[in-house]
Chains A and B, each alone.
Chain A
Amino acid sequence: MTGFLVRRLLGGLIVLWVVSAITFAIFFMAPGDPAVAYAGRAPSPAAIKATEERLGLNEPIPVQYWRFVSGIFVGRDYVSGADVTHCPAPCLGYSFKTNENVSELIGDRLPVTISIALGAAVLWLVAGVAAGVVSGVWPGSVWDRLAMVFALAGVSLPIYFTALLSQQAVVYKWRWIPAIGYAGFRDNPLIWGRNLLLPWLCIAFLYAALYARITRASMIETMGEDYIRTARAKGLRERRVVLKHGLRAGLTPIITLAGLDLGGLLGGAVIIEYVFGLPGIGKLAVDAIGGQNLPVILGVTLVAAAFIVVANILVDILYVVVDPRVRLA
């Protein structure tokens, strides 16, 4: 097990290194002078010069890349004459124009994205798996047909469609809830929940549909196995048969998918955050891309990649725990 973990972690680190190198390279292939981009709109010559000095933009590119990478582990000092700014680890640099600490920016926005992703994940897993189990155990029933209609709608409707539509309907037409912004969980959990309800439902609608269909297919396959018949013959209660023997086996593809989906969502539910005005890292990325704010783009890309890498590793471990037939490679 330790050997497996070490290998996977090493692999993950290599992936992140490649991602950072490529994104960093784009920095310098983009047109224009980075110093000008950092300094703000129509910068004065004095500002450009000061910026170049402070950020070390005249040093050779490999040196700049090394400073960037080492900054992530030990922090970095920006020197401007006698003035020294220390950027504590993990240092991802400073944003163009506004000069905000990228790590702080991301750290500030991450709780929003985590709230969105986790809340939606709980909803879609519970709803999707439950619906899938019921559909799988009684295929062809009225319930099954209804569930699959909703699943079809959820999978076919693009998320920007459901998000915009539900917002217009629920917030502005029927006025069931006031305009959606973001309130911290610690400030007021009820308002936090109320604001996130619609985003959760929109995401869950899409993903639950997927999970319902997959669970259903998986259940139908598993429930047809011989050992299920044996369990029933032994006189076990139906609920135990379905859940302990049927679902347990059918859970493996769901776990894999859930891990990857959650990892991806933690990188930012971009459309949801944009439509509902929620300040998460997805929206941060969109704004940064629009503003060509490369340090922020680089930071968010690395963080998102890190989440996916970690999710992959965790999923592999969980896989082994749930299904003893699988050996760690």
Chain B
Amino acid sequence: MTRTPRGLRAAALGVVLALFVTACSSSSGSGPAPSSTGPGPVGLNLEVVSYPSDAAGGTLQLVSSAPWSSLDPARSIYSSDWDFMRFIFRPLLNFEARPGAVRLVGDLATEPAVPTDGGKTWKYTLRSGVKYQDGTVVTSKDVKYAIERPFAQDVIDGGPTYTLCLLSPCDADGVPAYPGPYKDKSPDHLGLSSVETPDDQTIIFHLTKPFADWNFVMALPGSTPVPQSVDQGPDGGANYQQNPVATGPYQISQYEADKITKLVRNTNWDKATDPFRKALPDDVVVTMGISPNDEDSRILTNQADSTVEGTGVQVSNQGTVLTPQYQSRRADGSTGTLRFLSVQQTVAPFDNEHCRRAVQYAVSKSSIQRARGGPYAGGAIAISTYPPTLEGYQPPPDKYPNGPDSTGNLDAARSELQQCGKPDGFTTNMAFANVKKEEDVFQSVQQALARVNIKVNPAQIDQDGYSDVIGTPTEVKKRGLGIINTNWAPDFPSPYGYYHSLVDGEAILPQGNINTAEINEPEINSLIEKSLTATDRQAYLADYRQVDSLTMDQAGIVPYLHERALVVFSSRLKNILFLRAFGNYDFQAMGVNQ
């Protein structure tokens, strides 16, 4: 073995250092520490459209780190996918392209329906002159056919299933009577009798029971018309997601799953029939399967305009993004997600509400906020479950004041422990995913509760199996998961959509359960049930504020953050418009400077 002479070692070190220096000189250091007092806009004001422009042309470059959940409008489950689909699909209704309060407008239909028959009958009139990308005119039968598709859950699965039991009687297992258009015996595959199409421009839905939020369901991509001729052929059914037919201003010109999606203009889209789309760019390119760090690098160097996910920049890039240089290119919108701890009454000693309240008082919400990225990248501290961006929000009373700096109210916690018969504390398990931020949240909770002798043991669960485990109540009880770190964002921005899955006793499922805390309060259940037949919107909203209040009384949910995401855009992006409905930016509104 030859000895390595000293000169050689020095040279080797030099090579390594040279590489280091090159890389490190590119970072501009961390920016000013964001203020921990209240999250005002850290960049763009999201109540207005930033950089408004009507200039057409150019290619919009989007990046994504994950594949689409599906490009089949009936099978997609991510809100970022639904946001992107505004380029290509026109469901019956859609969210108006304006910031601020959510507003439903007629997209394919002329306007949202006013229900009759006690909230069971909903009639829509279609706009005339809307065509598919091949020039065929869209009729109400195409919408009916599209609505029928998800009934074939063996083929068209993965998307929202709100329509199933509302348009067809379901058995005890939740399987609807109507088998779907592929097994439909009627000659034109339009056998779903609860949906009427008296003429080509009219469609009427007869629901099995009143459902006040039906308009929101019709704003989901699933009501986008699907041509039978395509769907009943070899390119339809389970394969439809490879090349769905467009009704919007753009159509798919190239799609390779998890690699690239390219859109070009749909020449058969008529702007005169469209309520809000401007269709400024000539093409749209979504480069997919990029690592999250790479996404940030591309946007910061103007090689891409925006991400699709809208979940925020990587922690390592937050410092860079918060420097003054990016002030005019960054924003932190509310994603509409509530982050909270679920405290299970099925796991002792949390069957006693005072033990649950002890947790409410003892956690340090500001510490958790720091763990999740601070007020800009993590979110605003939550004192109740009602999201500030949801219709009907009013500042709620603070039922469990968390101390002067939101670091916890230990005296109140100890008093609650006395009342639940555990003055010396107790031991429990906390479930969290094996992701850095979640581990940090666990650490924070563990340390905070240790101050009042509540010993919290870690139950770390794999990220992607996470929702399956915590969504199975028997599994939760078996593993003794007293505290679960989780989050919730509704499929549509209505209080029913938000609260039903979260706190309705009727919504507790053996699998895929969202009501993790297994809250089953008769008063909450009846308020939610009652809201389905509500005719007075203000009374409806007041009822849900009451649901929020009762939920906090039950103490099974310890809300800690109304989540925000710190995002950055390229310097050439125009019409940056924040849609509260998606907690994301309206892609179809975007334009690019050339």
Contacts and interface: CB of A to CB of B under 8 A. Distances in A.
B291 interface: yes
B464 A168 contact: no
Contacts of A149: 8, 11-12, 15
B23 to A, nearest CB: 5
B12 A165 contact: no
B467 interface: yes
A36 B16 contact: no
Contacts of A181: 260, 287, 290
Given A32-B469, A50-B153, A292-B465, A40 B158 contact: yes
Interface in A35-56: 36-37, 39-51, 53-54
A40 B469 contact: no
Contacts of B537: none
Interface in B291-327: 291, 293-294, 297-298, 300-301, 303-304
B463 interface: yes
Interface string B81-123: 0000000000000000000000000000000000000000000
A235 interface: no
Contacts of B256: 108
A81 B184 CA distance: 13
Interface string B159-191: 001001000000001111000001100000000
B257 A100 contact: yes
Contacts of B469: 31-32
Nearest to B173: A45
B303 A179 contact: yes
B153 A47 contact: yes
Contact of A47 (B16, B26, B154, B465): B154
Determine the interface band of chain A, counting residues with CB < 8 A from chain B. 35 or more
B523 interface: no
Contact of A46 (B164, B297, B463): B164
Given A47-B154, A169-B22, A32 B465 contact: yes
Among B20, B158, B475, the most chain A Cβ lie within 10 Å of the Cβ of: B158
B289 interface: yes
Contacts of A48: 511
Interface stretch (A18-26, A170-178, A246-254, A302-310): A170-178
A270 B256 CA distance: 20
Given A46-B174, A83-B182, A41 B15 contact: no
Contact of B19 (A83, A165, A171, A178): A165
Interface stretch (A9-17, A272-280, A317-325): A272-280
Interface in A232-252: none
A42 B290 contact: no
Interface residues of B, number: 61
A43 B157 contact: yes
B48 interface: no
Nearest to B238: A99
A80 B179 CA distance: 13
A41 B303 contact: no
Interface in B144-164: 153-155, 157-158, 161, 164
A153 B303 contact: no
B572 interface: no
A171 B294 CA distance: 10
A54 B26 contact: no
B301 A279 contact: no
Contacts, number: 147
Nearest to A145: B8
B8 A148 contact: yes
A32 B161 CA distance: 22
A181 B63 CA distance: 11
B468 A37 contact: yes
A49 B259 CA distance: 32
A5 interface: no
A19 to B, nearest CB: 23
B135 interface: no
A290 interface: yes
B491 to A, nearest CB: 10
A157 B16 contact: yes
Contact of B157 (A40, A168, A292): A40
A41 B158 contact: yes
Contact of B22 (A46, A148, A173, A275): A173
A182 to B, nearest CB: 7
B301 A292 contact: no
A214 to B, nearest CB: 14
In the A-B complex, the 10 residue pairs with the closest CB atoms? A50-B154, A42-B512, A40-B158, A46-B153, A47-B153, A45-B174, A46-B175, A277-B290, A47-B157, A45-B173
Interface of B: 2, 4-5, 7-8, 11-12, 15-16, 19-20, 22-23, 26, 67, 69-70, 77, 153-155, 157-158, 161, 164, 173-176, 182-183, 238, 256-260, 287, 289-291, 293-294, 297-298, 300-301, 303-304, 462-465, 467-469, 471, 475, 511-512, 514
Interface of A: 31-33, 36-37, 39-51, 53-54, 80-83, 97-100, 108, 139, 145-146, 148-150, 152-153, 156-157, 164-165, 167-169, 171-173, 175, 178-179, 181-182, 274-277, 279, 283, 287, 290-292
Given A49-B173, A98-B67, A168-B23, 9 more contacts: A41-B77, A41-B158, A46-B164, A46-B173, A146-B11, A149-B12, A178-B303, A182-B259, A275-B291
